[in-house]
Chains A and B, each alone.
Chain A
């Protein structure tokens, strides 16, 4: 079950706050959204329905508080809402099996996994996060191992 365009918009807006851009690229510039969408169609396909539902719920929370979907909120309101959900303070009813903080924590993990893993995973374009922190695997260009 793929995400709807609205759910993808909520996902991207959320990622943009979880790992924002500053003097270094953030999650969106690094392609972390695509990494997550890829994971949700393959290794984590079983999680897709509940994540999709939670992204809709994220918009519902934003609408309940500010009459706007999450992606349309000002940054400060987005951050405040993430903080509230991280502490399970909700204005709408979330599924008991996957409460708001479970959803936020899962997305925090997924975002970091994409953003800080090797670029071949697709969420760390040009190794931008590695350059930011001063990491390079220093693998020889011509490995001599058989």
Chain B
């Protein structure tokens, strides 16, 4: 085992969305940062434009995973049957494992949570069997950091119309261009008396921070952006960190455990990395630092806390009250499809998401929470074929082929990230049998969301149908929701924030309870996941936690 001298103040595990932000803030504050990322630092040309292997349709692989077989997980279905799963399978609940994390290929919807998303239990009570709870952080606490994320990552939006949550400063970029489908849906919303506006997207609608504007291609979500207009931490805070000369990024560096002493202080990490950058040969290393930050995403961060068990902490770090890995959640996504009127002029340009309503995030009679609803990204032909042809159509033959050419540009669908009512039984544990390439127990995912989530999702599905019908869609269809585990791209909740160590894993700033210098800056912190895509909240929390760490050191 080779040892690297303790030349770092901070070690960050994971150069994904949250880890990249922590690296930027801390390196600029003068700290020497070591950023360990298990994936590679992929260039545009390294991320194939394969329509069957990307992050929205990964039938036979995806376009970022460097080792498709070495890092399985175990998935336990609601009937209790377990099986080994690989990154391209839905039950793996993947996000991109690469420098930049999910944001390398994300859809860029950059929403602040609603103020009431931080106080769900106060507003609705906690249903029996669920772990619905308030955050120990309010919207007002997070607002300045939301603003920083919007300005420093680059979010395009309509300041005046985005009024469901108070905001001080306009977005730094003008909203994505209006589309004919957006205008058509806006008329539908007006008929119903609903609000509707251009959603905030982290995309360069004009050149910003030294990078080009979006050229509205039709291969957007799930792929790398040809003009680097898709904003995340990989093209903003991470390059800023590296530019200080104080941040070292090591890729294909797979952290195996966090090392703690008898008092619970974290003093370093153990990781596997190639012996030389391009070598297939790996070696085990130890490295020390005064502060350790976990940012591996909600599933892998929970796994690392569990893998780091020691004599003093036999259940894993931060796990004295048995919350690590629990409350695993994502979003339920009702999808409602329909057809635009025949002859509708549809230029079908990227990114595609161009209108949203926040009418149903809260205040739905008899329902807990709700969701933002929006139209969707430009659809790849194969995705349209698989999921958006009318269900009563033959699946083959001339009739199907003819429908593809007549209906492709008439396809329209609405969807919304339904706020989950979390369950403590939806969780990450360590599998007792299956090991990864390095011999470490893999993550085992089990349980389901709380059944209340289904009621909310069904309510939202009905509202999406109302919207398409009011707009004048010719045909409207969707499928009912079933009870299952939902984590996936929006995975969150496995190291939840709590003021009292008995109620969660991390303190209100993201420090692991009981471990003075061990912090988290990823989706694991989210107590609940809002009725919105979560990444802007993950970024705001990462800015806030990193600022706190910088101030302490």
Name A residues whose Cβ lies closer than 8 Å to a Cβ of B: 17-20, 22, 24, 26, 39, 43-44, 79, 82, 86, 105, 108-109, 111-113, 116-118, 120-121, 129-130, 132-140, 143-146
Interface size on B, residues (CB 8 A): 41
State whether A139 touches B226 (Cβ < 8 A): yes
Q: How far is the CB of A50 from chain B (nearest CB, A)?
A: 17
A-side contacts of B397, CB under 8 Å: 17-20, 79, 82
Question: Which of B382, B396, B402 makes the CB contact (< 8 A) with A116?
Answer: B382
B-side contacts of A136, CB under 8 Å: 218
Interface residues of B in 45-63 (CB under 8 A from A): 45, 49-52, 59-61
Q: Mark each residue of chain B from 217 to 231: 1 if its CB lies under 8 Å from any CB of chain A, else 0.
A: 111000011111000
State whether A20 touches B217 (Cβ < 8 A): no
State whether B50 touches A133 (Cβ < 8 A): no
Q: How far is the CB of A142 from chain B (nearest CB, A)?
A: 9
Name which of B258-266, B315-323, B404-412, B494-502 contacts chain A: B404-412
| Complexed CA–CA distance, A118 and B222 (Å) | 14
State whether A144 touches B409 (Cβ < 8 A): no
State whether A18 touches B396 (Cβ < 8 A): yes
Judged by a CB distance under 8 angstroms, whether B245 is at the interface is no
State whether A139 touches B51 (Cβ < 8 A): no
Question: Which of A39, A79, A134, A144 makes the CB contact (< 8 A) with B60?
Answer: A39
Judged by a CB distance under 8 angstroms, whether B386 is at the interface is yes
| Complexed CA–CA distance, A129 and B380 (Å) | 12
Judged by a CB distance under 8 angstroms, whether B552 is at the interface is no
B-side contacts of A86, CB under 8 Å: 396
| Complexed CA–CA distance, A64 and B247 (Å) | 72
The answer to whether A117 and B226 touch (CB under 8 A), given A22-B401, A137-B217, A138-B218, is no
Question: Which of A17, A24, A43, A79 makes the CB contact (< 8 A) with B61?
Answer: A43
Q: How far is the CB of B234 from chain A (nearest CB, A)?
A: 10
Question: Which of B50, B60, B228, B405 makes the CB contact (< 8 A) with A145?
Answer: B228
- With A133-B405, A145-B226, A146-B228 known, 4 other A-B pairs at CB within 8 A are A22-B401, A24-B405, A138-B218, A143-B227
| Complexed CA–CA distance, A112 and B348 (Å) | 21
B-side contacts of A134, CB under 8 Å: 348, 405, 408-409
Question: Which of A26, A43, A129, A135 makes the CB contact (< 8 A) with B218?
Answer: A135
Judged by a CB distance under 8 angstroms, whether B212 is at the interface is yes
Judged by a CB distance under 8 angstroms, whether B3 is at the interface is no
| Complexed CA–CA distance, A6 and B60 (Å) | 27
Q: Name the residue on A nearest B217 (C-beta).
A: A138
| Complexed CA–CA distance, A121 and B380 (Å) | 14
Q: How far is the CB of A64 from chain B (nearest CB, A)?
A: 22
A-side contacts of B382, CB under 8 Å: 112-113, 116-117
State whether A121 touches B51 (Cβ < 8 A): yes
Name B residues whose Cβ lies closer than 8 Å to a Cβ of A: 43-45, 49-52, 59-61, 212, 215-219, 224-228, 348-350, 380-382, 384-386, 395-398, 400-402, 404-405, 408-409
| Complexed CA–CA distance, A79 and B402 (Å) | 16
State whether B51 touches A118 (Cβ < 8 A): yes
Q: Name the residue on B nearest A107 (C-beta).
A: B396
The answer to whether A133 and B44 touch (CB under 8 A), given A22-B398, A113-B382, A118-B50, is no
A-side contacts of B212, CB under 8 Å: 144
| Complexed CA–CA distance, A60 and B45 (Å) | 48
Q: How far is the CB of B397 from chain A (nearest CB, A)?
A: 7
B-side contacts of A112, CB under 8 Å: 382, 385-386
A-side contacts of B402, CB under 8 Å: 22
B-side contacts of A144, CB under 8 Å: 212, 226-228
State whether A44 touches B49 (Cβ < 8 A): no
A-side contacts of B384, CB under 8 Å: 116
Q: Which 10 A-B pairs have the closest CB atoms?
A: A143-B226, A145-B44, A145-B228, A43-B60, A133-B408, A137-B219, A117-B51, A116-B381, A116-B382, A18-B396
Q: How far is the CB of B376 from chain A (nearest CB, A)?
A: 15
State whether A133 touches B396 (Cβ < 8 A): no
Which has the most chain B C-beta neighbours within 10 Å: A17, A108, A132, A145?
A: A145
| Complexed CA–CA distance, A33 and B517 (Å) | 58
A-side contacts of B401, CB under 8 Å: 19-20, 22, 24, 26, 132
State whether A19 touches B51 (Cβ < 8 A): no
| Complexed CA–CA distance, A130 and B380 (Å) | 10
A-side contacts of B60, CB under 8 Å: 39, 43-44
Q: Name the residue on A nearest B47 (C-beta).
A: A145
Question: Which of A20, A44, A79, A133 makes the CB contact (< 8 A) with B404?
Answer: A133
| Complexed CA–CA distance, A20 and B401 (Å) | 8
Which has the most chain B C-beta neighbours within 10 Å: A105, A111, A120, A143?
A: A143
The answer to whether A17 and B224 touch (CB under 8 A), given A113-B382, A121-B50, A146-B43, is no
| Complexed CA–CA distance, A117 and B217 (Å) | 16
| Complexed CA–CA distance, A45 and B536 (Å) | 41
| Complexed CA–CA distance, A135 and B385 (Å) | 13
State whether A146 touches B44 (Cβ < 8 A): yes
A selection of 14 A-B contacts at a CB cut-off of 8 Å is: A20-B401, A22-B401, A26-B401, A108-B395, A113-B52, A113-B59, A132-B404, A134-B348, A138-B219, A140-B217, A143-B44, A144-B228, A145-B226, A146-B43
B-side contacts of A132, CB under 8 Å: 401, 404-405
Q: Name the residue on B nearest A112 (C-beta).
A: B385
The answer to whether A17 and B396 touch (CB under 8 A), given A39-B60, A132-B404, A145-B225, is yes
Q: How far is the CB of A112 from chain B (nearest CB, A)?
A: 5
B-side contacts of A120, CB under 8 Å: 49-50
| Complexed CA–CA distance, A109 and B45 (Å) | 29
| Complexed CA–CA distance, A112 and B387 (Å) | 12
| Complexed CA–CA distance, A72 and B477 (Å) | 40
B-side contacts of A137, CB under 8 Å: 49, 217-219
| Complexed CA–CA distance, A120 and B224 (Å) | 17
B-side contacts of A121, CB under 8 Å: 50-52
Q: How far is the CB of A116 from chain B (nearest CB, A)?
A: 4
| Complexed CA–CA distance, A141 and B381 (Å) | 21
Q: How far is the CB of B390 from chain A (nearest CB, A)?
A: 15
